[in-house]
Structure formats: structure tokens, C-alpha cells
Amino acid sequence: MRLTATTDFERVKAAYLDVIENTPDFAKDVRWIYGLHPSDAIIRSYIENGEMYVWQEDGEIAAVAAVAMRQSEDYEIVSWAEPLENDEVATLHLLAVRPKYQGRSLAGRILQEALEIAKRHGKKALRLDTLTSNLRAKHIYESAGFTYRGKYRNYAANLGMVDFLYYEKQL
């Protein structure tokens, strides 16, 4: 997995569009709407902050994910195993595997890479969330050893107020 550069923006955007448009049941389970979530501004922000990563195979982006070196204030509502300051935590966002590469356990490998990135930055936990409808992500996170920390209602730009499942792994 490698960190992206600003020159990667169009390729990263194309990868997200491929996932959104061509993954079976994506609209029902994950419910991303490009332009709302994710958006050009969100992707550019992660790239500019040095937080967007890609997994490449044969020179092509196979998967994408953002590993932020903090948690946002909306994560403060969760009953985490240990109360940590926002800057003591890394959060994983926008994990997506392109349809051509699905079924190869890439998501699990990306989670392991994200854990290593968080450790290298001295973080004490890696946290993430998913919609309650995203059963595939729930299974992947639990199989990778992440602990379920609860279901909480939060705002999503593409959906309004919706229930999210929150997970963490202590480092």
C-alpha cells in the first residue's frame, strides 16, 4: 500500500466511481453517492493531508482507503474501550476494493496495513465505522479482530441521520 500524491487524484476518483457503479448491491448496502460521499473535496483533502492510500496490482489501483491521524468529534459519542484524545487515534475511512479485485482478501490486508500506519504514527487505536446495512464490512472488520463498540445515530452527507456501527482495535 502506498501513499498517494496530488497527481493520483483522477486515478483515485476513477477507482471510487468504479466501486460505486459496478459493485453488486453497493447502492443498497454501502449507499455512497459520489459528489456527496465521497466527493472530490473529501478525496483531495485526504490526499493533501497525506492520508489517502492505494493498493496497486499490475500498475493499477485495486483498492483505496484513507487513514486519518485523528478521530473527528463525531466519534466522541461512542463508548470506546479506552477514552483517548482525538489526536491519539487513527481512523479508517472510504475503504473500497474495485470489483475486479474483490474476493481476494484485499480489505483484510488493507486493514493490517492501516494498523501498521497507525502504529508508526504512535497512535493508540485504529477506529472505523460502517452503515448498519453494510454486512460485508461488518464481517471483514470482525474477522480482522476489530471490536464492535456500538451502534450510534450520526449524520452522513448522502443519507442524513443514519445508524452506524463503530469498531476499534487497540494498538
> Which regions in the chain score pLDDT beneath 70?
none
Domain boundaries, the chain: 2-127
pLDDT digits (tens, 9 = 90+) for 105-123: 999 999 999 999 999 999 9
State whether residue 59 is helix, strand or coil.
Answer: coil
Task: Return the pLDDT at 158.
Answer: 86
CATH 3.40.630.30 fits 2-127, yes or no: yes
Task: Return the pLDDT at 77.
Answer: 92
Q: What DSSP string describes 60-112?
A: EEEEEEEEESS--GGGGGS--SS---GGGEEEEEEEEE-GGGTTSSHHHHHHH
